[in-house]
Amino acid sequence: MSTLAAARTPQTQPAEANSDFQQFLSAYGIELSPQQQRAAATAYGPTLLTAVPGSGKTTTLTARLGYMIRRCGIDPSRICALTFTNAAANDMKKRFIELFESNGTNDGEGITFATINSLASTIYHYECEKVKGASPRKVAETKTIYGIAREILKPSAGDKKDSPSPSESEIKEALTLISKMKNELVVNNRRRRSNWSGSDLALLDAYEHEMRERSVIDFDDQLVFAFDIIRKGGETARHFREQFQYWSIDEAQDCSRLQHALLYLLAGKAGNLFMVGDEDQSIYGFRGASPSLMPGVDTRYANPLTLKMEINYRSGKSIVRAADAFAKRMDNRIDKNMVAARSDEGAIKIVDVTSEGNRSKTITDILKDSPSAAVLFHDNDSAIPLIDTMLRSNVPFSVKKKDEVTFFTERTVEDVTAFLKLSLDPRDAESFERIYGKANYYVGKDEVDRAIRSSKKSGRPITDELIAIYGKNDKGDNRASAGQNFANLIKAVAKARMPKDAIATLRSKGYGDYLREKSISDSKVKILECLAAKERTVAGFLKRLEKLEQEIANHAGTPAPGAATITTCHASKGLEFDTVIIADAYDGHFPSTKKTDVSPEEQLQEERRLFYVAITRAKSQLYLLRTAGEKTTFIDEVSLTETGHDSPASPAKARPSLESLTTGYRGSKPTEIDCGKPIGKKMW
């Protein structure tokens, strides 16, 4: 970093008083609000711009880059603009070129538009190839990473040879945990390792060992290596600190401790680090996001400047009003007062639903008037009954590609389908092997193997062979009784007239007890019951499941005009829709009470932020489906706002008018907030 750049301090004068900046705006026909102007005119020093949803931050960031180059004389090759996705990086570069390069200049080619991971990869490769003359380890393919995780998780399911293989969702959860530990700087850090359980650390260590054995890495490893390389100093650290002296980071609230540490080491305590983020929209805590480490919040930075953009240009007044009041109930946040730029109210409609089937019908009815609406769910599985209804009703829709639906490979779903298959074909050895120990009837593995072999020879049902085996051995009446009880269960399921009744029988005669004993959620079994209610035979239901899985894959991708979008609240981040339907916000599900590695209060705050992100996707209409018989805390809070009740977080504070945010700059003093315990003097 040059001495001049390091010595510059954040500008404090209002942007309106900066004649050079005003000339710049006029020359390029750029229209910005005073708050946007203030942000775009800030070129130097550590700065946090906290921007509410729909505040035009991409436009502001693009204008800022143009001002830095065209008016401040900053070399574009010294600027690194980071985002979280390649699509976002390409979009910002495209916008810059469209706005500033009509005269034939190519400043956009000089700026480095990249993701944080691609920057880390560049650092790692530079160290290996330019400095050490070595070949960097290759990034493993997804199937390789999944295979490693699957092998590691097998022993954790039990040492018995009949222990089930981990499901796709269990593999994903394990890989997410590993990623979070890396992003929390747990690797090679004794102090941070002490915060994690022995089983979590064993998982991480086993995974790292297997990756080294194969001489491959994952994307998080690139970040870990880049951090270590810059932290240790040397030629690579000097090169990148000299090359990039101006840093712009979008979606900073989603940066992990590891990413923040890397950026701090590159930019320096008083460096030109411009971060745009909104802690109210930080929804990736499960991946290690740490918004408390942003400049203006983290005390490591020297004289950081905190700016705000509080005008929402996306949504109608009622939606903005409700979202702002909801946000004020969150903990550990910079105080913001979001107001709507639009003059129309928009609409929030709370609709009561009585059952899962009624929920799907209600949504399809809404879509008749708003066919391009987005239907947001807390998780992918909850959308399955709606998708089934829409397919049966020929309602056009799409699901996002990154919403990988794992419902059909979940352990409980495969268990239930195996029970049903065995009830149809009592000689189905594959299904029998999967579920013989999952009805709380403790049948031995050796006897199971013998029964299968005997069934193949005799053609009789496996359960009949099992009863015959237990009748001949001397292991006692308990085991013989278990074999008989299991056979009776399969016969009872087979006698059920309807597939829904078959699943209910299965739950009441053993499988339900098994799930409770193993502390396994029955939520997916309930979804199967909902789907089964629409079929008349077990065979037809099983075929429907196969077709449904294929149809969901066929509907993945960009929606056609006039088609609804079905996605999760997480995947909706960064998107906007004229009409948004939030389908499953009831307590225990959304907010979720699923056990995680954080405290219940931290989990609740993350769930609040997720709901806030979801409702701020709506431009004109927001539908909230309230489930009868369920507590709906988040929806009730929105309802209180709309009936005139103030948010308890700020009962005495008057809401600002739009005019107060557009008539001039109101100051830039950093807001003091409580973001938990201080990190201390030790580096990260």
CATH code of residue 533: 1.10.486.10
Contacts of 581 (CB under 8 A, 6+ apart): 363, 366, 373, 374, 375, 376, 623, 625
Q: 256: which DSSP letter?
A: B
Q: Where are the alpha helices (DSSP H) in 290-428?
A: 317-327, 356-369, 384-393, 411-424
- Predicted TM-score (pTM) of the model is 0.87
Instruction: Tell me, yes or no, whether 384 lies in a domain.
Output: yes
Confirm whether residue 56 is marked as ligand binding: yes
Phi, psi of 119 (to 5 degrees): -65, -45
Instruction: Tell me, yes or no, whether 316 lies in a domain.
Output: no
CA–CA separation, 459 vs 303, rounded Å?
81
Does 541 share its domain with 562? no
Using the predicted structure, report yes or no on whether residue 639 has a pLDDT greater than 50.
yes
Q: Given 187, 214, 241, which residue is the final one in a domain?
A: 214
Q: Tens of pLDDT along 441-486?
A: 777 788 889 999 999 999 999 988 888 887 654 455 455 677 788 8
Phi, psi of 398 (to 5 degrees): -145, 155
Instruction: Tell me, yes or no, whether 453 lies in a domain.
Output: yes
Cβ–Cβ < 8 Å for 341, 313:
yes
Q: Tens of pLDDT along 318-363?
A: 999 999 999 999 998 999 999 999 999 999 999 999 988 899 999 9
Helix 499-506 with 411-424: angle, nearest 10 deg: 110
Confirm whether residue 57 is marked as ligand binding: yes
pLDDT at 469: 81
Does 393 share its domain with 414? no
Which of 255, 216, 244, 227 minimizes the C-alpha distance to 124? Answer: 227
Q: Given 214, 234, 250, which residue is the final one in a domain?
A: 214
What are the distances in angstroms from CA 334 to CA 266, 294, 404, 672?
Answer: 26, 11, 34, 8
Q: Which residue type occupies 582?
A: I
CA–CA separation, 247 vs 237, rounded Å?
15
Q: Tens of pLDDT along 244-287?
A: 999 999 999 999 999 999 999 999 998 999 999 999 999 999 99
pLDDT at 438: 87
Phi, psi of 308 (to 5 degrees): -130, 145
Confirm whether residue 51 is marked as ligand binding: yes
Does 493 share its domain with 412? yes
Confirm whether residue 543 is marked as ligand binding: no
Instruction: Tell me, yes or no, whether 396 lies in a domain.
Output: yes
Does 435 share its domain with 523? yes
- Which of these ranges, 137-146, 222-231, 300-309, has the smallest mean pLDDT? 300-309
Contacts of 601 (CB under 8 A, 6+ apart): 331
Phi, psi of 188 (to 5 degrees): 60, 30
Which of 31, 84, 87, 93 minimizes the C-alpha distance to 65? Answer: 93
CA–CA separation, 502 vs 145, rounded Å?
38
Q: Where are the alpha helices (DSSP H) in 328-461?
A: 356-369, 384-393, 411-424, 429-435, 445-458
Cβ–Cβ < 8 Å for 245, 78:
yes
pLDDT at 472: 54
Highest-scoring range by mean pLDDT, 291-305, 533-547, 639-653: 533-547
What are the distances in angstroms from CA 366 to CA 320, 568, 623?
Answer: 22, 18, 9
CA–CA separation, 558 vs 539, rounded Å?
33
Look up the CATH number of the domain holding residue 259. 3.40.50.300
Confirm whether residue 668 is marked as ligand binding: no
Q: What's the mean pLDDT in 477-505?
A: 85
Question: How many domains does one find in the chain?
Answer: 4
Does 412 share its domain with 499? yes
Confirm whether residue 115 is marked as ligand binding: no
Which of 44, 53, 50 minimizes the C-alpha distance to 10? Answer: 44
Q: What's the mean pLDDT in 36-46?
A: 95
The parent domain of residue 142 ranges over: 138-214
User: For residue 430, how many other CB atoms are within 10 A of its CB?
Assistant: 10
Tokens (6 digits) for 52: 């509410």
Cβ–Cβ < 8 Å for 572, 400:
no
Does 380 share its domain with 416? no
Cβ–Cβ < 8 Å for 441, 489:
yes
Instruction: Tell me, yes or no, whether 357 lies in a domain.
Output: yes
Instruction: Tell me, yes or no, whether 297 lies in a domain.
Output: yes
The residue behind tokens 């807390």 is: 378
Instruction: Tell me, yes or no, whether 537 lies in a domain.
Output: yes
Question: Is 550 exposed, middle or buried (CB count within 10 Å of its CB: 0-12, 13-18, 19+)?
Answer: exposed
Instruction: Tell me, yes or no, whether 49 lies in a domain.
Output: yes
CA–CA separation, 62 vs 97, rounded Å?
9
Does 502 share its domain with 425? yes
Using the predicted structure, report yes or no on whether residue 170 has a pLDDT greater than 50.
yes
pLDDT at 594: 84
| Percentage of the chain lying above the pLDDT 70 cut | 87
Q: What's the mean pLDDT in 615-635?
A: 96
Using the predicted structure, report yes or no on whether residue 669 has a pLDDT greater than 60.
no
Does 384 share its domain with 441? no
Using the predicted structure, report yes or no on whether residue 238 has a pLDDT greater than 50.
yes
Does 390 share its domain with 538? no
CA–CA separation, 88 vs 249, rounded Å?
11
pLDDT at 367: 95
Helix 219-231 with 116-125: angle, nearest 10 deg: 60
Does 451 share its domain with 600? no
Does 428 share its domain with 538? yes
Q: Given 214, 241, 257, which residue is the final one in a domain?
A: 214
**Which residue(s) pair with 399 in the sheet?**
556, 566
Does 50 share its domain with 199? no
Phi, psi of 238 (to 5 degrees): -65, -40
Contacts of 474 (CB under 8 A, 6+ apart): none
Cβ–Cβ < 8 Å for 340, 312:
yes
Confirm whether residue 459 is marked as ligand binding: no
Cα–Cα–Cα angle for 412, 628, 578, nearest 5°?
90
CA–CA separation, 452 vs 459, rounded Å?
10
